[in-house]
Structure 1
Amino acid sequence: MSYANQYPVSFKNHIEKIAIVGASGQSGSYIVEELLKTGKHKVTAITRADSNSKFPAGVEVKRVDYDNQSSLVEALQGQEALIITMGVMAPQDQQTKLIEAAAAAKVAWVIPNEFGGDNANEALLRDIPINAVKVQYREQIEKLGVSSWIGICCNFWYDYSLSRGNYSIDIKNRTATFWDDGNTRINTSTLPQVGLGVANLLNLKVLPDNEQDTSPCLSNYKNKFVYIASFCLSQREMLASILRVTNATEEDWKIEYRPVEEVFKEGVERFQKGDFMGMLSGMYSRNFFKDNSGNYELTRGLDNEKLGLPKEDVDKYTKIAVDAVLNGDVAQF
């Protein structure tokens, strides 16, 4: 373990310059918002030359050509951290090129496109191919030997997933299919919590001040995952929250039951036949297995307290999901 007091007085024990890919996206916009609020970071949005994305005031914009590696390296020169947030439809080689460019530009820290479930869980990686492919990016970072990675385990976005019916709860039609008995709990996060979690992570000191310093530092998470969450909920608890915010009762809903492993198997088979929604069904249902893979609060513990994250009101975010459905404003991919 290194300590800040072992370095010259000129040593800077914090991160200032941060580049982000996907700065206007679902999670990226929240991360940028929280980074700017700190007033401690210079934020640079890395975007394609032909992109029409808009960015908030205070964000420097650097346009790149993914077919020209030197443009990526140039855009990342002087950056101390790179955050990669990309949708599932983004070309996979883009992240590879960004990681190579980060190493060439000597970027110390990379947060790869790891926003999701517990990707340190071997069983989840085995069963969910879309998560398993992410291992190669972490291995690439380590093999290049320049940057260190930090994975963000936040699981599914709560109000986003609830509004889309991904938890097998259909708000519009008041129907729910409980997997098994509907009592298995998983962790889930709101987008504001994810944004604040990443910002507070990058606000940490890089190294402990000295051997007596036990406060959280970025180096504690070198080549590891950070575990954050807003709630730990079962499907029944999600429905109970919906009932509270809509002043309804369970009698107003049609509830069915299915074995979760059957739902997962069916989803995988659909995905193998080219049905993308089958992948989603498989991914979500797999987190509700009785092995507690989706409840990393139980199996790993959370870093919420270390990162100064607040306790959130589940009904507040349930209402956001309900309003999105009723207003026809459900977010797409």
Structure 2
Amino acid sequence: MTTPFKNIIILGATGSVGAPILAALLAEPTFTTTILTRATSRAKLPPNVPVISISDAYTRDELTRAFTGQDVVISALNTTAVTQDDLAFRIVDAALAAGVRRIIPSEFGANNLDPRATELVPVYALKGNMLRYLMQKAEASHGALTWTSIACGSWLDWALDPGKSGNFLGIDVRGRRATIWDSGRARFSVTTAGNTGLAVARVLQRAEMTANKQVFLSDFVTSLREVVDALERLGGQGFVVEEKESGPAIREARERFEKGEFEATYPLLAISFAGDVDVGYDFEKEQTVWNEALGLPTRTLDEVVMGAIESANSS
């Protein structure tokens, strides 16, 4: 039987992805969690949690020293950080050199091995290459290193919070305005931030079951029109809706990305959820969903939407 994981180090612990993961790790008394941060970071870190600080260069030697003695490395770095300068590859190499037993890479979205997703959004292709590299290194280690990737679809609670996402999906809850791409009926899986963090902790508690697996999460499946309908129904007020075609926006964003504008990836990511494009986001239709196996609590569209309305009304 595999020795349980105890020592865990997380990169990107204070970001939108990392914060709920860190909270779930700290709530589990069997884990000893360490935060890895950049020397120049000014992020406010929780007290009484060990912190290792390294240079902004994230060199392989620094990473290897930081990872030594750790059972698990969790990368919760944002899309910009993890897909540039080969950082994700250095994390894998350093973890292997340090004797780490499990890596959870910076996935937390689409199935980055699905060609439908990687063809539309270049950053999915970059993440797919990184996951394949991790898989190859793990296989070559003959079991010394394992991996688990987490695909959770959309964080709708994050997307409806303008302070966190900048109205990522084009829905302004407080201003009661929404952009609908194409039909607005494309189906996509949603996992709340809290359940995503809890899933990471539960994955590590089920080390053998989750070794070398893509773990797909889905609290529920919805569409952009269903989200707007729920906002109107629960908020008691209508929304001004602007309808757009995704095709021209996709072409423009891809052209900008190919010219070196990395920020153009974010409208592509939003359209991959909201537009009439097939990237395999309906995990409940296409994949085995792990929510029940991991014992995650049930979450609903109305619950998430009501939380967004209450937050908007109080701000």
Greater Cα shift, 190-199 or 91-100 = 91-100
Superposition deviation, residue 27 in structure 1: 1.8
1:101 pairs, out of 94, 102, 118, with 94
Identify the match of residue 111 of structure 1 among 104, 107, 110.
104
* RMSD of equivalent CA atoms: 2.4
1:285–1:60 CA distance, 2 compared to 1 (3 A): same
**Mapping for residues 19-98 of structure 1, pairs under 5 Å:** 19-65=9-55, 66=57, 68-90=59-81, 91-98=84-91
Per the alignment, do residues 68 and 170 of structure 1 end up closer, same or farther by CA in structure 2, a change over 3 Å counting?
A: closer
Select between 121-130 and 155-164 the one with higher mean Cα deviation.
155-164
**Post-superposition shift, 1:166?**
2.7
Aligned to 2:304: 317
1:189 and 1:86 map into 2 onto residues whose CA distance is 18
8 Å CA contact 1:126–1:132 kept in 2: the answer is yes
Q: Distance in 1 between matches of 2:279 and 2:257?
A: 24
How many percent identity over aligned positions?
28
Deviations 1:259-315 (A, max 9, x none): 444443343345445665643222222334353622122111311011111111333
Match of 1:125? 118
Unaligned runs of 5+ in 1: 5-11, 208-216, 329-333
Inter-partner Cα distance in structure 2 for 1:43 and 1:106: 17
Count the aligned residue pairs.
302
CA contact (8 A) 1:264 1:286 kept: no
Shift of 1:56: 2.8
Selected match of 2:128 from 102, 125, 135: 135
> What is the TM-score normalised by the length of structure 1?
0.81
Cα distance in 2 for partners of 1:142, 1:274 equals: 28
Alpha carbons of structure 1 residues 88 and 218: separation in structure 2 relative to 1, 3 Å: closer
After TM superposition, the structure 1 = structure 2 runs for residues 99-248 of structure 1, keeping only pairs within 5 Å, are 99-144=92-137, 145-146=140-141, 147-163=145-161, 164-204=166-206, 206-207=207-208, 217-219=209-211, 222=212, 224-248=213-237
TM-score (norm 2): 0.85
Q: Secondary structure at the match of 2:40?
A: coil
Once the two structures are superposed, what CA deviation does each residue of 1:182-238 show, in whole Å capped at 9, x if it has no partner? 22221122211110111111111x33xxxxxxxxx123xx1x311012221111110
Please state how far the C-alpha of 1:152 moved relative to its aligned partner.
0.9
Distance 1:168 1:14 in 2: 43
| 8 Å CA contact 1:186, 1:232 repeated in 2 | yes
Q: Cα–Cα, structure 1 residues 93 and 275, in superposed 2: closer, same or farther, change >3 Å?
A: closer
Higher-Rg structure is: 1
Specify every segment of 5 or more residues in structure 2 that has no aligned partner in the other structure, as ranges.
none
- 1:73 corresponds to which letter in structure 2? T
